[in-house]
């Protein structure tokens, strides 16, 4: 089970009181601060990679992937058969893949990467990885608190690898509590919308978040999970 870090000395404003996606600046990336932010419906991202100050975001229209709404094409279903999916076997490598400076609009710097590695070591951050022939082909990482999984980033080196990891994540979250679990993608991008991500108003997101936080973690994130192909 995850280890609870020392509480943060920072207090966050209520996202509902902001008329912008960017709610606050400042604070730090200590584990207790990050967990407090996610529990309040916020996540960190610098407004500009050159800006030393952290921005704390709560989109007015939040991207959410309904667990029964993932759109899996026939070709993606076929691709799933050619990858091995693992959980938390290469977290640092997944973050490094997501932080590749050659990617357009990259926002993951060394401070961000180190912060999520600390969360992972405490049991709060997780990676879902797609492997082919023993080589990491793609994956995603995020933060799991109760029934909420906040997806942070995904990357691919082989066609469909990140999508395969997303298919696997949805399967990992689909259990008896699936109707109340919350898969947060932060924003709805054109790419994510094609996979089934929808937008929900901030107030609805915060209500659903409060409920999701009362749920237990999915089994895959409470113990090491063996690699297995997605179904």
Output the pLDDT for position 176.
94
pLDDT at residue 36 is higher than 50? yes
Mean pLDDT of the chain: 93
Range name among 26-35, 102-111, 143-152, 171-180 with the lowest pLDDT average: 102-111
Opening angle at CA 81, ends 75 and 85, nearest 5: 115
Q: Of the candidates 118, 117, 98, which has an alpha carbon nearest to the alpha carbon of residue 108?
A: 98
Q: Which structural domains are found in the chain, ordered by start?
A: 15-60 (3.30.70.3550), 62-221 (3.40.630.70)
pLDDT band at 227; cut points 50, 70, 90:
very low
162: left (phi over 0), alpha (psi -120 to 50) or beta: alpha
Residue environment code for 201-210, b if the CB has 16+ CB neighbours within 10 A, otherwise e: ebeebbebbe
CB atoms inside a 10 Å sphere around CB 137: 23
- Distance (Å, whole) CA 61 – CA 204: 10
Q: How many helices (H) and strands (E) does the chain have?
A: 7, 10
pLDDT at residue 50 is higher than 80? no
Give the pLDDT mean for 186-210: 96
Output the pLDDT for position 104.
62
User: How much of the chain exceeds pLDDT 70, in percent?
Assistant: 93
- Distance (Å, whole) CA 223 – CA 79: 27
pLDDT band at 35; cut points 50, 70, 90:
very high
pLDDT at residue 223 is higher than 70? no
CA distances (Å), origin 122, targets 23, 39, 126, 221: 27, 16, 10, 12
**Residues comprising the chain, all counted:** 231
Helix (H, G, I), strand (E, B) or coil at 53: coil
pTM for this predicted structure: 0.93
pLDDT at residue 85 is higher than 60? yes
Give the pLDDT mean for 107-132: 96
Range name among 1-10, 129-138, 196-205, 220-229 with the lowest pLDDT average: 220-229
CA distances (Å), origin 86, targets 107, 111, 129, 216: 25, 26, 5, 21
Give the pLDDT mean for 158-166: 97
pLDDT band at 100; cut points 50, 70, 90:
confident
Backbone angles phi, psi at 147, to 5 degrees: -95, 15
Structure tokens at 174: 């689909």
Output the pLDDT for position 229.
44
Backbone angles phi, psi at 47, to 5 degrees: -65, -30
pLDDT at residue 47 is higher than 90? no
Output the pLDDT for position 49.
65
pLDDT band at 231; cut points 50, 70, 90:
very low
CB atoms inside a 10 Å sphere around CB 231: 10
């Amino acid at each position: 089970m995850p280890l609870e870090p020392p509480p943060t000395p920072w207090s966050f404003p209520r996202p509902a009181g902001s008329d912008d996606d960017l709610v606050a600046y400042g604070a730090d990336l200590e584990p207790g601060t990050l967990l407090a932010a996610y529990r309040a419906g916020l996540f960190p991202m610098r407004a500009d990679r050159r800006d030393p100050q952290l921005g704390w975001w709560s989109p007015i229209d939040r991207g959410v992937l309904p667990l029964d709404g993932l759109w899996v094409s026939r070709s993606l279903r076929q691709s799933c058969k050619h990858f091995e999916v693992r959980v938390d076997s290469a977290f640092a490598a997944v973050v490094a893949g997501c932080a590749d400076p050659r990617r357009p609009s990259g926002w993951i710097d060394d401070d961000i990467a180190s912060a999520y590695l600390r969360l992972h070591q405490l049991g709060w951050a997780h990676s879902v990885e797609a492997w082919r022939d023993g080589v990491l082909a793609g994956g995603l990482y995020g933060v799991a608190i109760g029934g909420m999984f906040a997806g942070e980033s995904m990357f691919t080196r082989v066609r469909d690898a990140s999508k395969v990891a997303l298919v696997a994540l949805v399967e990992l979250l689909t259990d008896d509590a699936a109707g109340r679990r919350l898969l947060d993608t932060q924003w709805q991008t054109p790419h994510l919308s094609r996979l089934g991500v929808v937008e929900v108003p901030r107030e609805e997101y915060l209500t659903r978040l409060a409920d999701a936080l009362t749920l237990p973690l999915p089994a895959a994130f409470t113990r090491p999970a063996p690699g297995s192909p997605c179904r």
